[in-house]
Amino acid sequence: MMKKILIANRGEIARRVMRTCREMGIATVAVCSEPDRDALFAREADETVPLTGSSSAETYLNVAALLDAARRTGADGVHPGYGFLSENADFARRVGQAGITFIGPTPEAIAAMGSKIEAKRRMQDSGVAVLPSITVAGQSAADLVREAASLGPSILVKASAGGGGRGMRIVRSSGELADAVAAAKREALSAFGDETVFLEPYVESPRHIEVQIFGDTHGNIVHLLERECSIQRRHQKIVEEAPSVALDEHLRAAICSAAVRAGQAIDYVGAGTVEFLLGADRKFYFLEVNTRLQVEHPVTEAILGLDLVRLQILVAEGQALPPEVWQAKSRGHAIEVRLYAEDPAQSFAPSTGKLERFQVPARPGLRIESGVTDGSTVSPYYDPMLAKLIVHAPTRVEAARRLAAALAASQIHGLQTNRELLVRILRHPQFLSGETDTHFLERHAPSELAAPLCDAAGEKLHATAAALASAAARGAQARVLPTIPAGWRNNPSQPELVKFRSARGETAVAYRWSRGELALSIDEQELSAVRVDECSADRVTMETDGILRTYTVHQVGDHYFVDSPLGASTLIELPRFPSAEEEVQAGSLMAPLPGVVDDVKVAVGDQVAVGDVLLVIESMKMLYPVTAPQAGRVAEIRVQKKSHVEARTVLAVIDEHS
C-alpha cells in the first residue's frame, strides 16, 4: 500500500492526481522547474522538490533528477500524469529498479506501444484493422517519394514516438514531402527525444474515436466505453465528449471489442486508451495506444461515475478491478473543452505572460481542471493549456449549452485565449447536430469562430463602463470632495474625454455630470435615456435603450477588462498626451510570438525571396517558421540559436533595395 506519491508532472494534471491522493489519504510530492516554483500545483503538494532549470529537458524530462526527488522524499509511488515521461519505458523501468511503484503499465507494454510503427504491427497481428505505412529510414528523397506514391494522393507524416499533434505534417504533393519529413523530425526530436517518423495515408474527414481500457495484474481487461475527440486544431484535440453520437450499438460493440483485443495483445495493466479513425464508410482503423491517462479522461469519469486516478492507484497496488468497474453504466452526456492561451485568429500562436484574472462561474454539472489562478504566469516553455472545463448533463444539447454559457461568462483577463472559438463551436448548428469530424476547423474558419463574442456596439458600451469606473476610482482616491463624481460641473462645461484602443480600433467616450444628470456620447454620438444605477471602480450598472445591464470592470494599469452579458472586452486607455512611438528600422523582421530560436537558416549577406524560411522559433513545444515578407538581402541577424525572444523582438533586417 502506497503512502506517498511523487507526481512527475506539472499543471492541472498534477493537481488532479493530488486531489485523488488526498481523498485516499496518500501524501503527495511535486517537482517543479524554476518558472513553476510559484505555480498552484507546487504550492498545493505536501512536499515540493524544486528542479534546476527551465526547459523540459532540464526538469520534467530529467529522469535522474526525478528519481533523486523520489528518493529524498521517501516516495514509494510515482504517477507520471500525461505527456513528458508518461510513455517512456526506460523511466518506468528505472522507477521499478529503484524500488518504487510506477503507476502505469509495465515497461514492456509501454515499449511495445511507444513506437507507433511497432504498435501497428502488433495490432495487425491481433486482427485489428490498421492503415498501411512506410517507415522513413534513410531512403533518398527520390526513393521516399516513389514509395510514398503507393499510399495515395495525400499522406500524413507522423512521429513514431509522438502524440498531441507534434511531429505531424500533411503532404498533398510529392514536392512537399522532403520538407515535411525534415520538419516533423525536428519537432519529434524536440518534443520526444526521438526523430523517427513514418508515412501513412491521410484519411480525409474522419472521426476520431477512442476507447478507454483498464487492466489489472490478475489478467482482467475491460473497456469503459468510448470518447469522441474529432474537433482538433493542428491535430490536437480541443473538444472531447462521451459517448459518441457517431456510434450505434453494433459499431460501439465492434470498436470496443477491438480495443480490448489491443490491450490483451500486450497484457495491458492500468489505464490506457486505444485510438481509432472512423471513416465516412463506417470502417475504423487503429491509430495508437496511449499507455497512460488521457487529458480527456474526465468525460469518461462523468458518464460512468468512476475515478480513474483512484483505479490507477488501486491497480498499481496489486488489487483487482473493483466491482464498480464491472457494474458501471453510462448515464447522460459529458463534454470537455481545453482552454488554451493562444490566438486562433493568428494560426493558434501561443500567448504568454501574466493571467491577471481567472474566474469561472459555477454551473450545474460543471467541473474545472486547472493549473492556473489569478496572477499565474504562463511561460513559453510548456504546453499552453490553462484549464479543462467539463460539463455532465442529461443530454448532449444540454451539456453543450451549459458549457458554452459557463465559458462565455468566465472572466479571463490578461492573455489571449481560445475561449470565443470554443463557445462558438459548442453553439454551432453542425456541432449540435453531431456533424463533426477532424476537418471541422477547416470548414469553419478559426478566425471567424474566434471573433469577439461582444460585437462593436457592445464594445462601445464596455468602453463607457470603463470610463465611468475609472472616474469612480479617481473619485474614491480624491482627498477633496470624494463623493462628487469625476467630470462633475456645477454649470455646463467641457466634458471629460477618455479614449480607448482595442483590436477593433479606437473609441472615444465623453461624459459630464451636471446637476445630477449624466450627459454621455460615444465617438461623438450622444446617447439618450442613459441611467446609471450603480458606479464603482469595479462595477457599473447602467440602463441604455431601456435595457439594464451590469458591467464588471477590472483595471490593471492602462488595461481595462470589461465583462457583461454582451461578452468580454479588453480596452487600453490612451494617454491624453501620447509620446511618439519608437520607430522600427525599415525591413525589420519581428518575432510573431515569444519563444526560443530553434534554428537560423540564413546568414548576413544572403539573398532571400518572399516566403523563404529565415528562422524557426520553438514555443510551447511547437515549431513556428518565420518567413521573409519581402525579397532582398539579409542585412542583419540579431539573434542566434537558443536565443530567448519576446513577441515583436527584431530578429533580422532585410534590405529590399540590395
Task: Report the sign of the C-alpha dihedral through residues 602, 605, 606, 611, in that order.
Answer: positive
Residue 235: per-residue pLDDT? 84
Residue 648: per-residue pLDDT? 77
Q: Range of 61's domain?
A: 4-103
Residues 186 and 267 reside in one and the same domain: no
Residue 580: per-residue pLDDT? 47
Q: Residue 565 is placed in which grid cell?
A: 452579458
In this model, does residue 194 exceed pLDDT 90? no
565's CB contacts (< 8 A; 6+ apart) are: 549
Domain presence at residue 581: no
Q: Which residue has the higher pLDDT, 411 or 205?
A: 411
Radius of gyration, CA atoms only, the chain: 27
Whole-model pTM: value is: 0.86
In total, the chain counts a number of residues equal to 658
Report d(CA 54, CA 478) in Å as an integer. 45
Answer for the pair 386, 356: CB distance below 8 angstroms, yes or no.
no
122 conformational bin, left if phi > 0, alpha if psi -120 to 50, beta if neither: alpha
Domain presence at residue 108: no
Binned at pLDDT 50, 70 and 90, residue 517 comes out as confident
Binned at pLDDT 50, 70 and 90, residue 519 comes out as confident
Could you tell me what percent of the chain has a pLDDT over 90?
A: 77
DSSP strand E in 101-141: where? 101-102, 134-135
Residues 275 and 370 reside in one and the same domain: yes
Q: Residue 434 is placed in which grid cell?
A: 453531431
Pairing of strands 496-502, 567-573: antiparallel
Angle at which helix 297-304 crosses helix 308-316, to 10 degrees, equals 100
Answer for the pair 369, 12: CB distance below 8 angstroms, yes or no.
yes
Which residue, 166, 186, 201, sits at the end of a domain?
201
541-547, Cβ contacts within 8 angstroms, sequence gap of 24 or more: 542/461, 542/464, 542/465, 542/468, 544/461
φ, ψ of residue 450 in degrees (nearest 5): -90, 5
513's CB contacts (< 8 A; 6+ apart) are: 485, 487, 488, 489, 519
In this model, does residue 579 exceed pLDDT 80? no
Three-point CA angle 543, 546, 550, nearest 5°: 30
Place of cell 458554452: 404
Terminal alpha carbon distance of the chain? 72
Residue 476: per-residue pLDDT? 80
Pairing of strands 539-544, 547-556: antiparallel
Residue 578: per-residue pLDDT? 55
CATH number at residue 628: 2.40.50.100
Report d(CA 334, CA 214) in Å as an integer. 20
In this model, does residue 620 exceed pLDDT 70? no
Binned at pLDDT 50, 70 and 90, residue 581 comes out as very low
Q: Residue 612 is placed in which grid cell?
A: 523563404
Domain presence at residue 377: yes
Q: Residue 417 is placed in which grid cell?
A: 485565449
CATH number at residue 146: 3.30.1490.20
Residue 77: per-residue pLDDT? 98
Residue 115: per-residue pLDDT? 84
Place of cell 525571396: 609
Residue 430 is classified by DSSP as H
CATH number at residue 531: 3.30.700.30
Residues 261 and 394 reside in one and the same domain: yes
Which of 278, 258, 289, 403 minimizes the C-alpha distance to 339? 403
Report d(CA 424, CA 319) in Å as an integer. 44
Report d(CA 419, CA 425) in Å as an integer. 10
Residues 528 and 646 reside in one and the same domain: no
**Span 22-35, average pLDDT:** 98
Domain presence at residue 123: no
Domain presence at residue 111: no
Residue 656: per-residue pLDDT? 81
Residues 278 and 425 reside in one and the same domain: yes
Domain presence at residue 316: yes
C-alpha distances in angstroms, 78 versus 52, 163, 369, 605?
Answer: 20, 22, 21, 53
In this model, does residue 267 exceed pLDDT 50? yes
Domain presence at residue 124: no
Residue type, 410: S
Residues 474 and 620 reside in one and the same domain: no
Q: If DSSP states are collapsed to H, E and C, what string results for 241-282?
A: EECCCCCCHHHHHHHHHHHHHHHHHCCCCEEEEEEEEECCCC
Give CA 394 to chain center in angstroms: 27
Residue 173: per-residue pLDDT? 92
Domain presence at residue 362: yes
| CA dihedral of residues 359, 361, 365, 366 (deg, nearest 10) | -20
CATH number at residue 45: 3.40.50.20
CATH number at residue 333: 3.30.470.20
570's CB contacts (< 8 A; 6+ apart) are: 413, 502, 503, 559, 560, 561
Pairing of strands 353-354, 357-359: unpaired
Which residue, 394, 427, 449, sits at the end of a domain?
449
Residues 281 and 343 reside in one and the same domain: yes
Report d(CA 347, CA 467) in Å as an integer. 33
Report d(CA 546, CA 531) in Å as an integer. 9
Q: Residue 327 is placed in which grid cell?
A: 457494474
Residues 194 and 221 reside in one and the same domain: no
**pLDDT single digits (tens) 284-315:** 999 999 999 999 999 999 999 999 999 999 99
**Span 120-145, average pLDDT:** 91
In this model, does residue 320 exceed pLDDT 90? yes
Mean pLDDT of the residues in the chain: 92
Residues 194 and 215 reside in one and the same domain: no
Residue type, 120: K
State the DSSP H helix or E strand holding residue 428, giving kind and residue range, or none if neither: none
DSSP strand E in 23-131: where? 27-32, 47-50, 77-79, 101-102
Binned at pLDDT 50, 70 and 90, residue 577 comes out as low
The number of domains in the chain is 5
Residues 282 and 313 reside in one and the same domain: yes
Which of 58, 605, 156, 16 minimizes the C-alpha distance to 382? 58
Residues 211 and 197 reside in one and the same domain: no
Answer for the pair 356, 418: CB distance below 8 angstroms, yes or no.
no
Which residue, 449, 479, 500, sits at the end of a domain?
449
Residue 118: per-residue pLDDT? 86
Residues 319 and 359 reside in one and the same domain: yes
Which of 385, 362, 242 minimizes the C-alpha distance to 302? 242
In this model, does residue 484 exceed pLDDT 70? no
